[in-house]
Structure 1
Amino acid sequence: MSSTAEVTFSDTDIADALAAVDTGMSVLAQSATDALSNRERVLVLQQMETWFRMIPGIGHTLINQLHEQRGDGTVGEANVCQLLQSALRISPTDAGRRVRAAKELGTRTTMTGETVEPDLVNTAAAQRDGAAGADHVRVIRRFLHQLPAAVDTGTRAQAEAELAGLARELRPDELGRAADRLAVYLNPDGTLADENDRARQRSFRMGPQGPDKMSKGSFVADPELRAYLEAVFAKYAKPGVCNPEDPTPTVDDDPEPAVAQRDTRSTGQRQHDALKAMCRAMLASGQLGQHRGLPVTTIISMTLQELETASGVAVTGGGSLVPIRDALRMARHAHHYLAIFDDRGRPLYLGRSKRVGSGNQRIVLHVADGGCTFPGCPKPGYLCQTHHGRKDWAQGGETNIDELTFACDEHHPLAGAADTDWHTIIAGPDDPYPGRTYWIPPTHIDPTRKPRINHYHHPGEYLTQVRMTRRDRPSSIPSVADWGYAWLQIARM
């Protein structure tokens, strides 16, 4: 069941404990439970729940120790979040959540060797005992985060101890009710004490796209942002302004009365269209400068067939999907860069003359890779660097398009030549994914060092997983003949 049996531990007690748990879990997983009474089934579930609750408490200290002793040479990743993602096969969000929890709930060691108790010492104890689960812990952490800064340290510690004690007896929803009432006692007026309390609440969240390509989101605006939005909405969210249903939408001038009268949009829809117009105007202004060697712009890729039929969906440099008809309408605002790029007349092969990939090469990589090529990484092309995937620059690699690939800021430093580094290779023409980048994990991640490829930005591959012919896949040297791709670089709206 576990790979720990293949590892020799320096602490035999730890090795014996892991072996005992591994054996016990194997027996449980293979045991029939038909002969148990319902009372016995409940007892088994209760025992298992206690184990589930205890395990994160043990993990918090291990995660803190990984952070404190990073750089010891046994693992390559200096960033603990990255190490957890690769070693445990968990999402970046989950890895970040575990690291943050470990800082509050795990035992730490100072540089002088002194042991430091967790910040939430009582909550951590309840979790280690198996009395408090993840939902209990979440209630307590949220309660403490929402307390005003004016609440003194002693009062916070007393409140944490009270809630941790209740977590041993109450369900999470009951604990939440108790925490809400305790918050009223500590902050009866519900007021914020200072500017920092307001500032830490500001947020903007754009959720994932739904099947209809629409994205839900939420935000908490500070007073300054609200003041700016009020001014924008006063101008651009009036009835008859920025109405996409008008053949020639009114933008700069006041709308004619008839135009305003036939505007059937709700207030929320008008404000949505006002924000869209503001973003388009800002991109068109050129005041945003450059990002990773390209003007701050919207980059959209589509197949040549989709362009010709005006159907299907295109992909942005941020990884979102745009219906082809919308992409073509967006392109009407572009004064520049509506073109089909190929490898003729464009400096895609730079040899050793330049270390960093050019803007032209980045445009090609937006289509070839879609985003970071590290296995499972969801970072889109907008957030990636160009990486020498075939041979590192320091080892004599050349800055040619068939040797470059996308790697995000977090995963780019993981690539290297050492045994604890990830190695990258470019697939040859006979590979099922020619021209794509494989990442080979170090032995502490996978002793077999099986090459991995990122299908995240090519989700159709999750469904097919079949070997494709050269005719169906792009070659290692990009060209319209091989790819049939068009690029829209929408820079001037």
Structure 2
Amino acid sequence: MIDALEQAEAAVAACFDTSVWAANERDLVAALDATHRLEQRLAAVKLSLVRELDGRGTATAQGASSTAVWLRDRLRLGVGAARRLVELAATLDAAPVGVRDALTGGAVDVEQVRVIAETVETVHATAGTEAADKAVGVLVDWATQFDATLLRKLGTRILDHVAPEVADAAAEAALRAQESRAARDRHITISEQTDGRLRLTGILDTEAAAALRNAIDPLTAPTGPDDTRTPGQRRHDALADVCRLALRTGELPENGGDLAQVVVTTNYDTLTRQVGTGALDIGPHLTPEAVRRLACDAGILPAVLGGAGQVLDVGRQRRLISGPLRRALVLRDRGCAFPGCDRPPRWCDGHHIRHWADGGDTSLDNAVLLCGHHHRHVHHGGWAVRLGGDGHPEFVPPAWLDPEQLPRRNHYHRRR
């Protein structure tokens, strides 16, 4: 074996030194196919060696705690990759002869072998040995046409081909088991970070996953050619928009359901000029810019302190764009007013054109509807907002975007 492997290694090295640029396209494709077959055959040899070494206890004899740990050090693998190698070796060892022959013949890869072995095991437990033997042939044939992911999906209906008389009952049982696992495993974990952000992890069951996707997918598309958010950032912003919509319905329990409540503690003279840093009612502090943005459509509870630190006024909510004013704003803007945005009113915040902290009042002439993304964009992107002569909002882009700074309008809602 050592001699054969050394010869194969020398042959591979010679191939690597060959100038592939001189080969024609047909030869390149044939060489790629041959390389893939050789890779699968080598994988089969490697797995058989791992299985034999694991069975002999070589790892523990050499002082390692397990074969996976020994492989990690010996082959410089990640511990996860080493574990998968040991598991795959055991899977191949227990797999039907036809599956092992397919791998050693280069017809399938190791991931397909895993899928085939697991599927055949399920068929054996459900429909018996004869059906399992038939399943091997069908799955190996499919593996020559489909990758491991699609092969696993097709394998869920393998009984239709090898044991149709039990397929329906087995499918129903599998579905019930899947629902039971989903109900058992569903969870959301919220981990608070030191800076006030949250890390979300979890598993949603099928119904909740569908509801989440239906809610956020329409909101995750880029809003235009200048939308530089990553897909992950767009999903984050979409989830935040959905939460804002839920808060705005007023149908949440009474112990929650309000938009973000920002408590700002500042010196009175500072308040008359510009809002300083603020703190959410749950603790984390916010920058002045974030406070000014949230102040547009959230409940500000000013805690204005005099020179001696006494509380002069706490709990006044005077700048909310709500009720009749919001209805008038919706009638005027019909949705997010930022140029090119199609978000409907229910996804939008009321934005003060002249910030409330700068002395702006809460009136129709000083308000504009903006979706969550464009609300942030206006606060941080250098755009100016104003009302045109006809009373409709227009947006002046920053000079770096348009040196002439020609005002732009949203014509999407006008067309509806």
Larger Rg: 2
Greater RCO, CA 8 A, separation 6+: 1
Which structure: greater helix fraction? 2
What is the TM-score of this pair, normalised by structure 2? Answer: 0.41
Normalising by structure 1, we get a TM-score of 0.35
